[in-house]
Structures are given as structure tokens and as C-alpha cells.
Amino acid sequence: MPTVNVEVIAPLISGATHCQHCENFLDDVGISQRVQEEELKSYPEEMWQDYARLSQMVRDLTARYGNQLRITLIDPHTPMGLWKSVRHWVRSYPTFIVNGQAKYAGWDLGSLDCLLRAGGAAVPAAS
């Protein structure tokens, strides 16, 4: 059974880090953890909700299709994310790129399932 590659382009939340010299200094004075927590709290609530929703979608897809999918999360604020967004004309998030060609933007799992099946994923067995 072929593996279907799914690239998910969406803003991601991550703990911000500093350059190695700054990290060492922050660790030495004991405030590194506090700085990271403050930076994580600076994200707006809407972004946290979208991130949780996307995380649930990815977990659902993984549970449904298992090893048939290779999912790669790409933040559009990174060089790779910018390149992928321009290359695939991404205008809204999340956007799912299946096998480097087919594209779906949105939150509808049913539409995404159709795209995955067209890309070669087997129809999930009924549970």
C-alpha cells in the first residue's frame, strides 16, 4: 500500500528560544523557563484554539489511516513554509498538500478524506 504524503501548512505554536549565548546566560541566572512561559502566553487565544483544533485533526487522521500517511507540519513563518505557501498559492490555514499536488484549505475532515482517498489512501475500516 503506498504512503500518502500530507504537508500541513498552518501557524504553529512553539516555545521560543534565543541564540545559544543568550540561552546559556538565561539558564545561568535561572530565568530561562520563565522567559519561555511568558513568550508562550503571548500567543492570542484564537491561535491556541486553532492549534488545538489542528492537533485533533492530525490525531484523527493518524488514528484513521495509520501508517498510510506521512504527515509533515510546516509553519508558514519559516523559510520552508513561506516557499511552500508561495509555490502552492496558500491563502488560508490550515492548508493540506497531498502528494505535493492536490490542495485543500479548511477544517472539513470529510473533504480532506476525499482528497486523501484520491491520493491513494485506502478507505478507513468502519469501527
3-state helix, strand, coil in the chain (%, to 5): 50, 15, 35
What pLDDT sits at residue 35? 47
**pLDDT single digits (tens) 40-99:** 677 788 888 888 899 999 999 999 998 899 999 999 999 999 999 999 999 999 999 999
Q: What are the extents of the domains in the chain?
A: 4-14+45-118
102 and 52 Cβ atoms separated by less than 8 Å: no
The predicted model scores a pTM of 0.75
Percent of the chain with pLDDT over 70: 73
User: Dihedral of CA 22/11/83/102: which sign?
Assistant: positive
Element (H, E) at 66: none
Assign a CATH topology to domain 4-14+45-118: Glutaredoxin (3.40.30)
Q: Is the pLDDT of residue 31 over 70?
A: no
Q: Which of the pair, 28 or 114, is modelled with greater confidence?
A: 114
DSSP sequence for 69-121 = EEEEEE-TTSHHHHHHHHHTT--SSSEEEETTTEEEESS-HHHHHHHHHHTTP
Q: Is the pLDDT of residue 119 over 80?
A: yes
